[in-house]
C-alpha cells in the first residue's frame, strides 16, 4: 500500500484585507501578514491594529490561522513601540509571530506569551543545531533558509525535537542575497532591505565602468549572457510537494505579500489543489492542468531553487515578468440570466474567458452577449472598473476571476 503522507499546512501571503480574503477563499490553512511596522514588506498596505483584529476574526471564523511578521531588525529607539504592538496582537488572537531578532524573540515571550513564536527565514537557519537552539529559546517553528537542500532538511528533521515544526518556501521570488540579508538597496537608494523597504536593485540592468574611463560604460553582454547579473529566477515546487513533505517540511510558504490579490488567489488555489491531489493520490504525478495554473500569473523563469542541491538559476538578459494571461474582470454575483462583472482590463465580446473560482478547477467559456451598466449591448469593456453584465448560464461565484490569454 502506498504511504499516506500528512498534509502540510498551506501558508499564503496577505498584504492587505483584499489579499487576505483571497487567500482564505482560495484554500489557505494559514496566512501571514504585517502591521504598519516591524514587517519585512513595507510596500504593501499592511494592517493597522484594528485591521489585525478584523483579519483574525475573519480567518478564525473560517478555521484559518494568522501569523504576524515581526521580522525586521529593529533599532533601539523602535523597541518601546514594539511592546504594545506585541500585546495588541495577543489580545487580537494572533496565532504566531514570525521573528528574526533574538531581542524581539525575548520580548514576545515576555509580553505576549500566549502567541507562538516562529523563527523567520531572515535568521538563516541551515542546520539542526541552530534549529534546536531556537526551540530551546521558546520557538515552536523555524522557517528554514531558502538555501537549504531537501537532503539537509531531512537531517534537520531527524535531529530536532518532533514538537519543533519546519516551514519552508515553496513558491515565489528569490533574493540574490543569503536569506534576504542584502545591503545593495541601502547603499544605492537609502532603503533598508532589512527593515522592509527593499528597492530590489538586484532586478536592475547594470553596465561596467573602468576607473580611468568614468565616462565610458561597457555592457556586460557576452554571447548569451546579459546585464541583469543579480536577477534570480522564481521558485516553483508545486510538482515536488511529496519530496518536501518526505524531507520533514510541515508548512509550505507562498511568497507574495507585495503581489496582487489575483496572484494570491491563483497560487493559493493551485497549491491547495496540488496538496489535496498528492494526499489522495500519493503515487501519481501532478496533473498538467494544476501545474498550468502557475503559468497564469506574472512570474520570472521558474526553478526549484536550491532544494535539489544545484543553483536556483538566473535570467541575465532581462528582468521582466512573463505574463501569459491578464485579469479581465472579477465576478460580483448573478442577477437572473446575467453575471455582473467588475472590469479590470479591457476585454471584448467573443473573447474566451478562463474562470478561476474557489474550490474548483478553472473552466473556459466564450464571452457572448455583454452589456454595460445601462443594459446597452457593447462590443468591448474598455473602461476601468466599469460594470459589465454577461448573459450566460456559466456558474461563477462572487470573487471569481475571469482571465484572458494574451496573444
The answer for residues whose C-beta is within 8 angstroms of residue 77's C-beta and 6 or more apart is none
Count, in order, helices (H) and strands (E) of the chain. 10, 22
pTM of the full predicted structure? 0.88
Distance of CA 359 to the CA centre of its chain: 19
Strand partners, 98: 69, 118
CATH fold group of domain 325-405: Elongation Factor Tu (Ef-tu); domain 3 (2.40.30)
Q: What is the pLDDT of residue 37?
A: 79
Tell me how far CA of residue 105 lies from CA of 78, 140, 146, 236, in angstroms: 15, 12, 21, 30
Tell me how far CA of residue 262 lies from CA of 13, 18, 21, in angstroms: 12, 10, 11
Name the grid cell of 97. Answer: 509571530
Tell me how far CA of residue 271 lies from CA of 101, 216, 262, in angstroms: 30, 48, 14
Q: What is the pLDDT of residue 213?
A: 80
The answer for residues whose C-beta is within 8 angstroms of residue 336's C-beta and 6 or more apart is none
Nearest to 201 by CA among 226, 230, 174: 230
| Angstrom distance (rounded) from CA 76 to CA 54 | 30
Torsion of the alpha carbons at 267, 268, 273 and 274, rounded to the nearest 10: 60
Domain boundaries, given as residue ranges, for the chain: 9-177+233-303, 325-405
Whether the Cβ atoms of residue 5 and residue 242 lie closer than 8 Å to each other: yes
Q: What is the pLDDT of residue 226?
A: 54
- Say which residue the cell 528554514 belongs to: 144
| Angstrom distance (rounded) from CA 331 to CA 337 | 14
- pLDDT profile of the chain (407 residues), mean per 10: 81 96 97 85 77 98 97 89 96 97 96 98 94 98 94 98 97 73 68 69 73 74 59 90 97 93 97 96 95 93 89 68 91 96 96 94 95 96 96 94 91
Query: Coil, strand or helix: which one is 311?
Result: coil
Q: What is the pLDDT of residue 189?
A: 79
CATH fold group of domain 9-177+233-303: TIM Barrel (3.20.20)
Phi, psi of 291 (to 5 degrees): -60, -40
Length of the chain: 407
Amino acid at each position: 500500500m502506498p504511504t499516506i503522507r500528512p498534509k502540510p499546512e498551506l501558508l499564503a501571503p496577505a498584504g492587505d484585507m483584499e489579499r487576505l480574503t483571497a487567500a482564505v477563499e482560495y484554500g489557505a490553512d494559514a496566512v501571514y501578514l504585517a502591521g504598519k511596522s516591524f514587517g519585512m514588506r513595507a510596500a504593501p498596505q499592511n494592517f493597522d491594529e484594528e485591521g489585525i483584529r478584523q483579519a483574525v476574526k475573519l480567518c478564525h471564523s473560517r478555521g484559518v490561522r494568522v501569523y504576524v511578521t515581526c521580522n525586521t531588525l529593529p533599532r533601539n529607539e523602535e523597541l518601546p513601540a514594539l511592546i504594545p504592538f506585541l500585546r495588541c496582537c495577543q489580545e487580537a488572537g494572533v496565532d504566531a509571530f514570525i521573528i528574526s531578532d533574538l531581542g524581539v524573540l525575548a520580548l514576545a515571550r515576555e509580553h505576549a506569551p500566549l502567541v507562538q513564536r516562529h523563527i523567520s527565514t531572515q535568521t538563516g537557519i541551515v542546520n539542526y543545531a541552530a534549529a534546536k537552539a531556537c526551540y530551546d529559546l521558546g520557538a515552536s517553528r523555524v522557517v528554514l533558509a531558502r538555501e537549504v537542500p531537501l537532503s539537509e532538511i531531512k537531517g534537520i528533521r531527524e535531529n530536532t525535537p518532533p514538537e519543533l515544526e519546519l516551514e519552508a518556501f515553496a513558491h515565489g521570488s528569490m533574493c540574490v542575497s543569503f536569506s534576504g540579508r542584502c545591503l545593495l538597496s541601502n547603499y544605492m537608494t537609502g532603503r533598508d532591505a532589512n527593515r522592509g523597504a527593499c528597492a530590489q536593485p538586484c532586478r536592475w540592468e547594470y553596465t561596467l565602468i573602468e576607473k580611468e574611463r568614468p565616462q565610458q560604460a561597457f555592457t556586460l553582454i557576452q554571447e548569451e549572457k546579459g546585464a541583469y547579473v543579480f536577477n534570480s529566477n522564481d521558485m516553483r515546487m508545486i510538482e515536488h510537494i511529496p519530496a518536501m513533505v518526505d524531507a520533514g517540511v510541515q508548512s509550505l510558504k507562498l511568497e507574495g505579500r507585495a503581489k496582487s490579490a489575483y496572484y494570491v488567489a491563483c497560487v493559493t488555489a493551485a497549491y491547495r489543489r496540488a496538496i489535496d491531489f498528492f494526499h489522495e493520490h500519493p503515487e501519481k504525478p501532478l496533473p498538467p492542468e494544476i501545474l498550468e495554473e502557475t503559468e497564469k500569473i506574472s512570474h520570472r523563469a521558474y526553478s526549484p531553487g536550491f532544494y535539489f542541491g544545484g543553483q536556483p538559476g538566473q535570467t541575465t538578459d532581462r528582468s521582466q515578468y512573463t505574463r501569459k494571461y491578464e485579469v479581465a474582470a472579477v465576478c460580483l454575483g448573478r442577477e437572473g440570466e446575467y453575471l455582473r462583472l467588475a472590469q479590470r482590463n479591457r476585454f471584448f465580446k467573443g473573447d474566451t474567458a478562463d474562470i478561476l473560482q474557489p474550490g474548483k478547477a478553472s473552466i473556459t467559456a466564450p464571452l457572448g452577449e455583454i452589456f454595460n451598466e445601462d443594459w446597452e449591448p457593447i462590443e468591448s469593456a474598455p473602461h476601468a472598473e466599469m460594470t459589465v453584465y454577461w448573459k450566460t448560464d456559466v456558474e461563477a461565484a462572487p470573487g471569481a476571476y475571469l482571465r484572458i490569454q494574451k496573444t
